[in-house]
């Protein structure tokens, strides 16, 4: 018979417990009881627990572990497309854990895809796309040649995005922590339904981007089908980055609205002041995610915004440079490119502006509408501290201090573009076209034809008159 000296029911007792039976019981009871030793076997140190072991009830029901991060699962279609294209080599060793490892299979795959595309572009540079030549002049054709060179610039953004993948993975991990804190505070899962929208974006953008590239090439250049591959890849990459930015900002907006509504409902029957402080801590976490989103994508989207600005300027300039001669087939591709780029730039700026407004202004409105008279002193203090926290922690999405992404940025870029267009058009007007130069040459030739006989006749008359005057002086 084995004896255990520790008794959880009688911690102060030093009597041995034979097979879990208290020694203080009377002997007559011992004679009539059959004992079963149900004490679990000790797991030796260093060996894994039994696969039949049951986790404690607290871990399964009271404090559940999130094993699928909600934000990533909702945005998964777009992340999948970016990972297939080799531009976002995030490694997920387990659900809810996002990492960037330089020697991971995902990074090696991304490097192979990128350098294969670089090699393909260098090969196509030997067979450069041929611009359609027309009688409209060389100026518009030069603009189109520059435009097709600028279309290849997003190749530079891929290594930049590799560099920022570690920070993007950190943002996804911060979202997991936010989801855990939300569940602990409200006892429910963060309800976000964006998967269908992300799936539509991941399908529609490649289709529309491919269509746009085909229209551009058909209308402006003599192309070969093999020349479309790098342009289609880079066009999809550019607009997919815009879709990724849109969904990240949309997730911020949805979470901010959900948290604001939950907080408003809590204020209607608020109990202890600690509840308000918990909401403040949760809001501060969301505000930090909003700021870190801009910091994590600062170099990539600084490049994307400047690239879109250059594309818009060149496209509209190509449209306006020959407006006096009417629109031609080339202008269809330029118009499609300009409209798509303007829309993408607008959505990038507008969605970030809306997300910042939801994270900050919505909570300030809820706090300013609170009736403090019926609250106790501690609750009033917490509300005032919450309001002060929203003032001291602006939730602006800034690209690491380069500039804030909002509607003001879109307005500034459009105003700068108009300034450049006016200067370039004035410069073009000051340069005579080939047809104008030919007309001027014809006018000069005609003028010379009429001027030469008149000059000859005048010279002869002058000579005769001079000779007559000299003879009169002699006589």
Per-position pLDDT tens, the chain of length 475? 444 444 444 445 444 544 444 444 444 444 454 444 444 444 443 445 444 444 343 333 333 444 468 888 899 999 999 999 989 898 888 877 888 888 889 999 999 999 998 888 887 777 666 555 554 556 566 667 777 778 888 888 899 999 999 999 999 999 999 988 888 888 888 888 889 999 999 999 999 999 988 888 787 767 777 778 888 899 999 999 999 999 999 999 999 988 888 887 777 765 566 777 888 888 889 999 998 998 999 999 999 999 999 999 888 888 887 666 666 777 787 888 889 999 999 999 999 999 988 888 877 887 777 766 666 777 777 777 878 888 787 778 888 888 888 889 999 999 998 888 888 777 767 765 555 545 455 445 544 444 454 444 455 555 544 555 555 555 5
| Domain shared by 26 and 174, yes or no | no
Q: Is residue 475 part of a domain?
A: no
Q: Which residue range(s) make up the domain with 99?
A: 68-186+193-426
The burial of 51, by beta-carbon neighbours within 10 Å (0-12 exposed, 13-18 middle, 19 or more buried), is given as: exposed
- Rounded to a whole number, what is the distance in angstroms from the first to the last CA of the chain? 171
| Domain shared by 231 and 286, yes or no | yes
| Domain shared by 81 and 221, yes or no | yes
Q: Give CA–CA dist 279/422, Å, rounded.
A: 52
What local confidence, expressed as pLDDT, does residue 127 receive?
65
| Domain shared by 117 and 247, yes or no | yes
The burial of 275, by beta-carbon neighbours within 10 Å (0-12 exposed, 13-18 middle, 19 or more buried), is given as: middle
Give Cβ neighbours of residue 446 (< 8 Å, ≥ 6 apart): none
What local confidence, expressed as pLDDT, does residue 25 receive?
47
Q: Which run of H or E residues covers position 97?
A: strand 97-99
Q: Are 110 and 89 in contact (CB under 8 A)?
A: yes
Q: Give CA–CA dist 379/356, Å, rounded.
A: 27
Considering only CA atoms, which of 222, 245, 193 is closest in space to residue 73?
A: 193
Report phi then psi at 93, rounded to 5.
-65, -25
Q: Is residue 441 part of a domain?
A: no
**Cβ neighbours, 10 Å, residue 282:** 20
What local confidence, expressed as pLDDT, does residue 308 receive?
92
The burial of 73, by beta-carbon neighbours within 10 Å (0-12 exposed, 13-18 middle, 19 or more buried), is given as: middle
| Domain shared by 405 and 350, yes or no | yes
Q: Give CA–CA dist 186/262, Å, rounded.
A: 9
| Domain shared by 18 and 129, yes or no | no
Tokens of 383: 């509300």
Q: Are 369 and 422 in contact (CB under 8 A)?
A: no
| Domain shared by 86 and 29, yes or no | no
Gyration radius (Cα) of the chain, Å: 38
User: Last residue of some domain: 384, 407, 426?
Assistant: 426
How many structural domains comprise the chain?
Answer: 2
What local confidence, expressed as pLDDT, does residue 128 receive?
65
| Domain shared by 114 and 212, yes or no | yes
Considering only CA atoms, which of 335, 291, 332 is closest in space to residue 314?
A: 335
Bridge partners (DSSP) of residue 404 are: 398
Q: Is residue 102 part of a domain?
A: yes
Tokens of 210: 């491919």
Bridge partners (DSSP) of residue 131 are: 221
| Domain shared by 109 and 175, yes or no | yes
Q: Is residue 298 part of a domain?
A: yes
Tokens of 14: 């030093």
Q: Is residue 182 part of a domain?
A: yes
Q: Which run of H or E residues covers position 3?
A: strand 3-4
Q: Give CA–CA dist 238/152, Å, rounded.
A: 11
Q: Give CA–CA dist 351/346, Å, rounded.
A: 8
User: Last residue of some domain: 426, 449, 469?
Assistant: 426
Q: Is residue 461 part of a domain?
A: no
| Residue-by-residue DSSP string for 149-164 | HHTTGGGGHHHHHHHH
Bridge partners (DSSP) of residue 3 are: 18
Q: Give CA–CA dist 90/120, Å, rounded.
A: 25
Q: Is residue 380 part of a domain?
A: yes
Report phi then psi at 402, rounded to 5.
-65, -50
| Domain shared by 13 and 104, yes or no | no
Q: Following CA atoms 292, 298, 301, 302 in sequence, which dihedral angle do they give, to the nearest 10 degrees?
A: 150
Q: Give CA–CA dist 2/35, Å, rounded.
A: 12
Considering only CA atoms, which of 238, 265, 264, 76 is closest in space to residue 172?
A: 76
Q: Indicate the pTM of the whole model.
A: 0.73
| Domain shared by 159 and 234, yes or no | yes
Q: Are 251 and 192 in contact (CB under 8 A)?
A: yes
**% helix / strand / coil in the chain, to the nearest 5?**
70, 5, 25
| Strand pairing class (17-18; 91-94) | unpaired
Q: Is residue 450 part of a domain?
A: no
| Domain shared by 38 and 122, yes or no | no
Considering only CA atoms, which of 304, 181, 189, 286 is closest in space to residue 244?
A: 304
């Amino acid at each position: 018979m084995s004896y255990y000296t520790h008794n959880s029911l009688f911690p102060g007792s030093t009597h041995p417990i034979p097979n879990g039976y208290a020694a203080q019981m009377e002997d007559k009871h011992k004679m009539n009881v059959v004992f079963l030793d149900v004490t679990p076997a000790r797991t030796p140190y260093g060996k894994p627990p039994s696969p039949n072991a049951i986790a404690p009830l607290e871990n399964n029901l009271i404090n559940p572990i999130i094993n699928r991060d909600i934000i990533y699962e909702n945005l998964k279609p777009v992340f999948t497309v970016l990972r297939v294209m080799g531009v976002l080599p995030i490694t997920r060793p387990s659900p809810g854990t996002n990492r960037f490892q330089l020697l991971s299979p995902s990074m090696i795959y991304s490097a192979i895809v990128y350098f294969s595309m670089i090699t393909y572009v260098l090969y196509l540079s030997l067979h450069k796309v041929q611009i359609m030549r027309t009688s409209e002049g060389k100026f518009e054709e030069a603009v189109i040649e520059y435009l097709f060179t600028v279309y290849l610039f997003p190749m530079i953004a891929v290594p930049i995005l590799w560099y920022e993948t570690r920070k993007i993975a950190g943002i996804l991990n911060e979202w997991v922590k936010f989801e855990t804190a939300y569940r602990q505070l409200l006892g429910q899962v963060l309800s976000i339904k964006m998967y269908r929208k992300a799936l539509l974006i991941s399908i529609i953008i490649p289709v529309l981007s491919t269509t746009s590239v085909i229209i551009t090439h058909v209308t402006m250049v003599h192309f070969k089908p093999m020349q479309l591959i790098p342009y289609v890849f880079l066009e999809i990459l550019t607009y997919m980055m815009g879709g990724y930015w849109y969904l990240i900002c949309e997730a911020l907006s949805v979470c901010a609205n959900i948290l604001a509504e939950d907080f408003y409902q809590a204020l209607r029957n608020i109990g202890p002041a600690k509840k308000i402080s918990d909401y403040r801590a949760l809001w501060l976490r969301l505000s930090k995610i909003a700021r870190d989103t801009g910091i994590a994508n600062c170099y990539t989207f600084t490049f994307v915004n400047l690239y879109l600005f250059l594309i818009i300027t060149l496209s509209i300039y190509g449209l306006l440079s020959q407006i006096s001669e009417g629109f031609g087939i080339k202008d269809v591709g330029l118009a499609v490119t300009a409209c798509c780029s303007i829309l993408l730039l607008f959505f990038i700026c507008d969605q970030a502006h809306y997300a910042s407004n939801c994270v900050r202004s919505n909570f300030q409105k809820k706090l300013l509408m609170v009736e403090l008279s019926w609250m106790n002193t501690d609750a009033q203090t917490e509300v005032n501290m919450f309001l002060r926290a929203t003032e001291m922690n602006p939730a602006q999405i800034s690209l690491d201090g380069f500039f804030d992404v909002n509607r003001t940025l879109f307005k500034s870029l459009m105003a700068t573009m108009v300034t450049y267009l006016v200067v370039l058009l004035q410069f073009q007007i000051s340069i005579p076209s080939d047809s104008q130069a030919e007309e001027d040459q014809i006018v000069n030739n005609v003028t010379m034809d009429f001027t030469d006989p008149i000059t000859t006749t005048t010279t002869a008359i002058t000579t005769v008159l001079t000779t007559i005057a000299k003879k009169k002086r002699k006589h």
